[in-house]
Amino acid sequence: MFVVGGESLIDLVSEPRGPDGVIHMHAHQGGSPYNCAIALSRLGNDTGFLCPISRDGFGSYLLEPLAAAGVSTLLEQRVVAPTTLAVVTLNEKRQAAYEFYRGADRAFTQEGMVQALPEALELYQVGGFCPIVPEDAAIWSEVVRAAIAKGATISIDPNVRPSLVDDFAGYKARLSTFLDLAHVIKMSEEDLAALEPSLSIEAHSAALLARPNCELVVVTLGEKGSLAYTASGRAQAGIWAPPVFGDTVGAGDSLMAGVLSYLREKNVLRPGQLKTLGNGELEAMLRFGAVVAGLNCGQVGCKPPTRAEVDAVLNA
């Protein structure tokens, strides 16, 4: 089984105030780990999601896409804490400002999460908010170590958000602990710039590959595509543009799911094999991920494609 650990939340998107003076808001399910778990399952992987779900109405709303995609919710008991909210305010130019109100995504115990891990665990992905709060980071890192003890390959997609962190130096130190445990590291160029703006992408990637366990680094570049690095190769691929564009919500999460799915199908999603991937294999991996992300971008909101939809593009 693939397991993704991290937050689920509701994006409450506020439109600019209209002539009636009323603020209108739209609720969307979200959270980077949540999106990735759904994308992995829709691509045909047996997938579990490790995050507390609230008893409230938003919690039920979050469960619907998980169930539709066939994702197993590993923490079956729903919690009293309210669903975590991300309030997104758009100005007249549709530029977004974010405020987070955290609740259910932090309502966990180390014992409960470790016990919820399946025995057959091929991959464990951590990311999102996990390194933000010191006490949470300590628990999440122990969950990662428990997954390693079960033989899991570890991947991470941190989604660095400086606006969420009071002590960025402390955050970087906590994130470093997770990066040292990971075999696959995905970051956006914005993530890398936030962590250390003076370094080039190549320098960042070399430093990540020099960490104790890292064998594959993937860097997303937005409209410019993506890059991949191992000790044996380097590759770049462009985006796959859908015929009709929706938006980019969940594009990076979908690409990550595509990368992990591709590696699993090629039987190289394990330490020792990842570092042997050369230029051609890395390029094919990125192109597969680009199609997954591109099909998602053909929708409004995060709606990752099925494997059949991906195959239809690849075989066209």
pLDDT number for residue 199: 97
pLDDT number for residue 205: 98
Q: If DSSP codes are grouped into helix, strand and coil, which group holds residue 21?
A: coil
Tell me the per-residue pLDDT of 41-61, one tens digit each, with 9 for 90 and over.
999 999 999 999 999 999 999
Containing domain of residue 233, as a range? 2-7+31-79+108-314
Residue with tokens 């990311």: 127
Q: Quick check: is 87 in a domain? A: no
62 exposure class (CB count in 10 Å sphere: 0-12, 13-18, 19+): buried
pLDDT number for residue 18: 74
Integer Cα distance of 183 and 105 in angstroms = 25
pLDDT number for residue 92: 64
Angle, vertex CA 25, rays to CA 128 and CA 41, nearest 5: 40
Q: Quick check: is 14 in a domain? A: no
Residue with tokens 């991300």: 86
pLDDT number for residue 150: 97
Rg (CA), the chain: 19
Name the helix (H) or strand (E) containing 12: strand 9-14
Tokens of 140: 């999440």
Nearest of 204, 142, 153 to residue 182 by alpha carbon: 153
- Give me the residues paired with residue 234 across strands: 229
Domain count within the chain: 1
Q: Quick check: is 58 in a domain? A: yes
Q: Quick check: is 69 in a domain? A: yes
pLDDT number for residue 301: 84
Q: What DSSP line would sit under 105-150, residue for residue?
A: GG---HHHHHHHS-SS-SEEEEETTTTTSHHHHHHHHHHHHHHHHT
Q: Quick check: is 304 in a domain? A: yes
pLDDT number for residue 223: 93
Q: Residue 298 in contact with residue 246, Cβ under 8 Å?
A: yes
The torsion of the CA quartet 287, 289, 292, 296, rounded to 10 degrees, works out to -110
Distances, alpha carbon 301 to alpha carbons 168, 249, 304, in Å: 30, 5, 9
Q: Read off the amino acid at residue 266.
A: K
Q: Are strands 85-90 and 216-220 parallel, antiparallel or unpaired?
A: unpaired
pLDDT number for residue 127: 85
pLDDT number for residue 197: 95
pLDDT number for residue 93: 59
Q: Which portions of the chain are predicted below pLDDT 70?
A: 90-97
pLDDT number for residue 140: 98
Neighbours of 69 (CB within 10 A): 18
Neighbours of 193 (CB within 10 A): 15
Q: Quick check: is 84 in a domain? A: no
Where on the phi/psi map is residue 264: left (φ > 0), alpha (ψ -120 to 50), or beta?
Answer: alpha
Q: Quick check: is 97 in a domain? A: no
Integer Cα distance of 84 and 52 in angstroms = 10
Query: Looking at the whole model, is its pTM more than 0.75?
Result: yes
CATH number at residue 68: 3.40.1190.20
pLDDT number for residue 160: 93
Integer Cα distance of 201 and 220 in angstroms = 10
pLDDT number for residue 19: 83
Q: Quick check: is 85 in a domain? A: no
pLDDT number for residue 161: 85
Q: Residue 30 in contact with residue 47, Cβ under 8 Å?
A: no
